[in-house]
């Protein structure tokens, strides 16, 4: 407890001087299948906050990006034209990320549909109802707030002791950092897990994707959901593309069988991954 309090005091001191960016850690517990809520997944997430805005994404992904960046810098320093990424694996379970730009907290979800990178531009801001109820989290006084967003009802606990109006995922706008937040069914739960100092955050780095509205994303998702193997069929239909695969016995798999197997795999995945945090995007 003393270590936690000391660490948080360091945050407050650094914030008072506006000296550098900070990385807040959250444990994200989520249930991917609404038909089987007995199973849940966990991922350590990071909220990087800088002067211009914030980025929220998987800690495992952050580690992966750091190693890749290190390998690229080594190659540039040695003027090598070969970069070996074979020993690097992205083991993150959460591939999407959220960025917010200050001071108006413009929020963007960076995600994919199939092989397409998309940047969903959110328009709606969450309306909070602040309660007088308080509790202590990690040695900090936290206050309760509730609101609705993305088709779910949310309960949050924020602390005015860290004067940052931000939080995990899309959540922001309370007079203090959000430490915990969960939806009414507890399908998606974010819990504050710690903090550390972080290098200066620049939101334009490593951000890509075709800008789309929430409505357009939903339209694209419906098309993909009906036929998730469409892009695979289009690729294999190209006469200039030659792809061969074999099974365990060495038998060459016919193209029609490759497409059918891929379609079955994708549809099975979609059936199990149906409990998205943002219900409005995937309805």
Per-residue pLDDT of 228-277, as tens digits, reads 988 777 766 666 666 666 677 777 777 777 778 878 888 888 888 899 99
Share of the chain above pLDDT 70, in %: 78
220 vs 124, more confident: 220
The pair phi, psi for residue 70, each rounded to 5°, is -65, -40
Work out the mean pLDDT of the chain and round it to a whole number: 84
Tell me: the pLDDT tens digits for 47-89? 999 989 999 999 988 787 767 676 677 667 776 766 666 666 7
What are the residues whose beta carbons fall under 8 Å from the beta carbon of 158, sequence distance 6 or more?
Answer: 142, 143, 145, 167, 174, 175, 176, 177, 178, 179
Asked whether the predicted pLDDT for residue 124 surpasses 70, the reply is yes
Q: Where in the chain is the domain with CATH 2.50.20?
A: 2-56+93-198
Tens of pLDDT along 137-194?
A: 999 999 999 999 999 999 999 999 999 999 999 999 999 999 999 999 999 999 999 9
**Cis peptide leading into 103, omega within 30 of 0?**
yes
Q: What's the predicted TM-score (pTM) here?
A: 0.82
23-to-42, 55, 213 alpha-carbon distances in Å: 19, 10, 29
pLDDT reading at 16 higher than 50:
no
Looking at domain 2-56+93-198, its CATH architecture is Clam (2.50)
């Amino acid at each position: 407890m003393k270590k936690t309090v000391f660490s948080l005091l360091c945050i407050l001191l650094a914030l008072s001087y506006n000296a550098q960016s900070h990385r807040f850690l959250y444990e994200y517990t989520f249930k991917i299948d609404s038909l089987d809520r007995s199973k849940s997944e966990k991922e350590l997430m990071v909220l990087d906050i800088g002067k211009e805005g914030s980025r929220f994404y998987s800690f495992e992904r952050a580690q992966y990006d750091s190693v890749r960046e290190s390998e690229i810098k080594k190659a540039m320093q040695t003027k090598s034209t070969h970069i070996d990424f074979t020993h690097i694996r992205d083991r993150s379970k959460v591939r999407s990320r959220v960025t917010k730009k200050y001071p108006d907290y413009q929020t963007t979800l960076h995600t994919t549909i199939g092989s397409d990178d998309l940047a969903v531009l959110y328009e709606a801001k969450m309306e909070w109802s602040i309660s007088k109820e308080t509790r202590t989290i990690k040695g900090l006084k936290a206050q309760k707030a509730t609101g609705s967003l993305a088709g779910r009802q949310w309960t949050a606990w924020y602390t005015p002791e860290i004067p940052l109006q931000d939080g995990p995922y899309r959540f922001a706008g309370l007079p203090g950092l959000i430490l915990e937040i969960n939806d009414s069914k507890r399908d998606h739960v974010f819990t504050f897990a710690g903090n550390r100092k972080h290098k200066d955050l620049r939101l334009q780095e490593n951000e890509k994707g075709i800008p789309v509205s929430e409505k357009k994303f939903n339209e694209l998702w419906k098309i993909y959901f009906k036929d998730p193997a469409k892009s695979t069929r289009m690729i294999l239909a190209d006469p200039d593309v030659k792809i061969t695969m074999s099974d365990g016995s060495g038998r060459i798999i016919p193209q029609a069988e490759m497409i059918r197997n891929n379609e079955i795999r994708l549809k099975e995945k979609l059936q199990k991954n149906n409990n998205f945090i943002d219900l409005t995007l995937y309805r």
